[in-house]
């Protein structure tokens, strides 16, 4: 398990995100993005949200990783069945949340979330990082059918980089 590489990627995203916030001009925030329905500000929040999701997934993977594999498999199939409403909630939720965690607050939110993830990562054992569960791969292109806790820690950086390329002021 390369804990140091995961920690470095979390820090890379933090630094890059603050650079993106600083680079956005007054007219950039409400401009449309490439390939999404979000504005730049909404997409920036969605990038933060990827890290927030991981905070919630970690305990779930720890619990499901101790249960028989068929339990998380059934759970993932149930979630996959709800893909259409999930995508709607994901879109509108990020639109609404960007009004709270807007350009003035989202950098601090990301800092707190990454600090929390760094702290948790430092306490993980190799055994816990190898625990895993089935995921709903239809929900996100970076979800695999089965993900270990290590994969979950790596997920938000991939999500972040994908969406950073869709911003229109970079």
Alpha-carbon dihedral sign for residues 31, 36, 40, 41: positive
At 115, list the tokens: 């600090």
**Does residue 107 register a pLDDT over 80?**
yes
- Phi first, then psi, for residue 92 (nearest 5°) are -70, -30
Query: Percent of the chain, pLDDT > 70?
Result: 100
- Per-residue pLDDT band at 141 (split at 50, 70, 90): very high
**Does residue 101 register a pLDDT over 90?**
yes
At 11, list the tokens: 């820090």
Residues 6+ apart with CB under 8 A from 32: 38, 39, 40, 168
DSSP class per residue in the chain? --HHHHHHHHHHHHHHHHHHHHH--TTTTTSBPSSSSSBHHHHHHHHHHHHHHHHHHHHHHHHHTTS-HHHHHHHHHHHHHTHHHHHHHHHHHHHHHHHHS-TTTHHHHHHHHHHHHHHHHHH--HHHHH-EEE--TTT-TT--SEEEHHHHHHHHHHHHHHHHTT-S--
Whole-model pTM: value is: 0.94
**Does residue 170 register a pLDDT over 90?**
no
- Per-residue pLDDT band at 10 (split at 50, 70, 90): very high
Average pLDDT score over the chain: 96
CATH architecture for segment(s) 3-18+37-164: Up-down Bundle (1.20)
- Domain borders along the chain are 3-18+37-164
Residues 6+ apart with CB under 8 A from 95: 38, 42
């Amino acid at each position: 398990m390369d804990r140091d590489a995961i920690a470095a990627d979390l820090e890379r995203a933090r630094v890059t995100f603050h650079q993106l916030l600083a680079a956005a001009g007054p007219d950039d925030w409400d401009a449309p993005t490439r390939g999404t329905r979000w504005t730049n500000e909404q997409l920036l929040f969605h990038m933060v949200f990827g890290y927030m999701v991981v905070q919630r997934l970690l305990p779930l993977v720890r619990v499901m990783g101790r249960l028989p594999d068929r339990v998380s498999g059934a759970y993932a199939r149930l979630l996959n069945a709800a893909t259409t409403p999930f995508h709607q909630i994901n879109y509108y939720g990020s639109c609404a949340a960007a009004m709270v965690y807007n350009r003035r607050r989202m950098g601090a939110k990301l800092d707190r979330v990454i600090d929390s993830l760094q702290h948790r990562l430092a306490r993980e054992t190799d055994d816990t990082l190898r625990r895993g569960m089935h995921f709903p791969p239809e929900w996100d292109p970076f979800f695999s059918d089965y993900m270990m806790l290590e994969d979950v820690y790596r997920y938000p950086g991939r999500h972040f980089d994908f969406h950073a390329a869709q911003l229109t002021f970079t």
